Structure 1
Amino acid sequence: MKGDFLNPSFSHIYIERAVDQDPRWRARAEQILRHFPRATCIPIEHYKDVFNRRHQSYPAQHRTQALILAVKHGRSVYPGAPVCQSMGEEHFYYASSMMNCLFDCEYCYLKGMYPSGNLVIFLNLEDIFAEVEALLRQHPVYLCISYDTDLLAIEPLCGYVKAWTDFTAAHPDLSIEIRTKSGSEHLWEGFNPCPRNIFAFTLSPDYVVSHYEHRTGTLTQRLASIRRGMALGFTIRLCFDPMIACPDWRTVYGGMLDEVLRTIPMAAVRDVSLGSFRLSDSYLKQMRRNMPDSAVVQYPYVNENGVYHYDAALTEEMERFMLERLTTVLPRERIFRWES
């Protein structure tokens, strides 16, 4: 199976009985199960019976993830969160077709949001499409589809990015963002370019990748994937977000920018987002309980109006450093800096 980042630990797969109610859901489940012929399959009534159990250890579960195949009931499309960048879009939403991620970034808000480190895939993708179509009857939609997971990391398993990009191409008032830290050489296989399908790559220095972004593509791998995508005509966004304070951060981030500017033809980039680390206080408190030895989690952030972030001086210094470098190669209007 292709896919450099698929976790081999899916030895146990939980399957909701409701999956059998629709042949499309069952077909998706069977497609996924074919990748794990030795897995122990366990029928369950509802994904929350496994996912929401008490006294779970997120870090331990994430090291040996179980897979849960489920049907999502109720809403799956939500207004964009205030701590995330809208990129200037008026009708900004995100869709949740999965919960949790194959990658293991220490600072990820999912570690404070969910009680479980296991991965949930919702198989009723058509129901999510129907929600989006209902919104499109009211106004254009800008939709982030890779909020609560990294869909490109798991694409070889379920093909959801292919389904979403085809769906977007058929709906002229829809634009989607697919955010990723993948560096897979197979990333672009099977996709057709459409300017409203925006592939947004989070770029981090090697120090941050090696210390905090476990299982992700390296900076060099991500840049190589971006170059391939641009050569094939795909729309690319670069995301220097979140910036993470680390020893000698100026040298670290300056070196990263040097490599980016050597590698990527910036004039062909759609736009850039920029922002430093921020996280809701409830999520960070849970993460600190779960990860007492993580430097990025235990950093003495400032709590302002329920959001933890670096103090004002460090925030301004870091973001201004990046902004000044980026404005030498891009018009200011194509650089989106997150503001609270």
Structure 2
Amino acid sequence: MESCKEGSAEAPFKHIYIEEDIESSALKITEHFPDAEIIRIKHYKDVFNRPRQSFTGQKASPNLIIARKHGRLIYEGAPVCQDFGNKHFYYTSCVMNCLYDCEYCYLRGMYPSANPTVFINLDDIFSELEGLLQEHPVYLCVSYDTDLMAFEDLTGYVKRWCEFTASRKDLTIEIRTKCARTDLWDILSPCERVIFAYTVSPQEIISKYEKGTPSLKMRLNAVKSAMEHDHPVRLCFDPMIYIKGWKEVYAGMFKEVTQNIDADHIKDFSVGSFRISSGYLKNMRRMMPDSEIVNFPFELINGYYQYPKALEEEMEDYMSELIRMAVPKAEIFRP
């Protein structure tokens, strides 16, 4: 669901589940939905982990869960994810699930529920992070399991992350997004250690497989606006999706990129073809038996499914060469 606010996403939640002991802390979120039915629960997993949920059905009509996250809050990055040359690579999830509905998204195979879940104890994540920073520098991805930019009106977490990072010289964060909002740049102060990483896909992929997400044109407009406000921007051509005529499709996309933004001033580029944990793909195939993407005859290597090696290298080499032809000194990262 895409609202009129330049690519932000805001779902009209009919039901909001709130853990009993944090109800007062959730008011800033629930006030956005005055008509929603508030349902009090003891623990978010009582709802989130229910058996036999319909991920697809919940995507069409999601409910919101507001909770407090316990236990460990920051995790080491998975091998399948890019670390961009950082030794101490971590991720955290202050929100689970996304307002967008991408067919290839690993969240479909990872979680039993599609309902967005907002954890209100961001300060606890900050505290755990302070401890890590006492040991070594940290590179932290804060928008892996959601799109924080699309949730900003509800949570304000992007602004809080920017402010926290600006005052910690050994912390670098990445905020991954498909959101096309441009109004946020007026309230976010640029910091060289806060990287806005935009997933850039061909319009053919967006239209068919990235339901509810902003168009390529809107994303590039957001990228241009971020750069004009001096925010570091990473362009992520990841995941690349194999479709008929993929070379022409990705070449056309990249031509549109270079026509709309100054690629020489992009911080760096991420290139990677579709890859996913074997367990997640198994769940997704059961859920989407007719999906061309998830039922591709992938190769299983070290617990992860990926395109056959020759195809994977051809796709990533091709995209990397397109970038180098336009930006000879580009810094390109691959899995």
Structure 2 Cα separation of the partners of residues 333 and 270 of structure 1: 8
1:50 aligns with 2:42: no
Secondary structure of 2:185 counterpart: coil
Q: CA deviation at 1:293?
A: 2.1
1:64 aligns with 2:61: yes
Change (3 A) 1:2 1:124: farther
Match of 1:18 among 17, 21, 25: 21
- How far does the alpha carbon of each residue in 1:228-264 deviate from its partner, in whole angstroms, 9 at most, with x for none? 1101111100000000001100110000010111111
Structure 1 Cα separation of the partners of residues 251 and 148 of structure 2: 29
Instruction: Specify the alignment match of 2:122 in structure 1.
Output: 125
Amino acid at match of 1:268: H
Q: CA deviation at 1:313?
A: 1.4
Q: How does 1:1-340 map to 2 (within 5 A)?
A: 3=5, 4-20=7-23, 26-27=24-25, 29-331=26-328, 334-338=331-335
The runs of 5 or more residues in structure 1 that have no matched partner are 21-25
Q: CA deviation at 1:306?
A: 1.5
Structure 1 Cα separation of the partners of residues 203 and 46 of structure 2: 39
Residue pair 1:5, 1:103 contacting (<8 A) in 2 also: no
Structure 2 Cα separation of the partners of residues 151 and 211 of structure 1: 23
Secondary structure of 2:150 counterpart: helix
Structure 2 Cα separation of the partners of residues 2 and 310 of structure 1: 37
Q: Which stretch shows the higher mean deviation, 37-46 or 56-65?
A: 56-65
- How far does the alpha carbon of each residue in 1:197-253 deviate from its partner, in whole angstroms, 9 at most, with x for none? 100000000011001111111110000001011011111000000000011001100
Structure 1 Cα separation of the partners of residues 10 and 160 of structure 2: 22
Residue pair 1:2, 1:156 contacting (<8 A) in 2 also: no
Structure 1 Cα separation of the partners of residues 325 and 55 of structure 2: 42
Q: CA deviation at 1:332?
A: 5.6
Residue pair 1:77, 1:94 contacting (<8 A) in 2 also: yes
Secondary structure of 2:183 counterpart: coil
The runs of 5 or more residues in structure 2 that have no matched partner are none
Structure 1 Cα separation of the partners of residues 225 and 34 of structure 2: 33
Change (3 A) 1:106 1:271: same
Secondary structure of 1:41 counterpart: strand
TM-score under structure 2 length normalisation: 0.96
Secondary structure of 1:153 counterpart: coil
Residue pair 1:5, 1:215 contacting (<8 A) in 2 also: no
- How many residues align? The count is 332
Q: CA deviation at 1:62?
A: 1.3
Residue pair 2:147, 2:176 contacting (<8 A) in 1 also: yes
Q: Which stretch shows the higher mean deviation, 289-298 or 40-49?
A: 289-298
TM-score under structure 1 length normalisation: 0.95
Structure 1 Cα separation of the partners of residues 113 and 11 of structure 2: 18
Q: CA deviation at 1:312?
A: 1.1
RMSD: 1.4
Q: CA deviation at 1:333?
A: 6.3
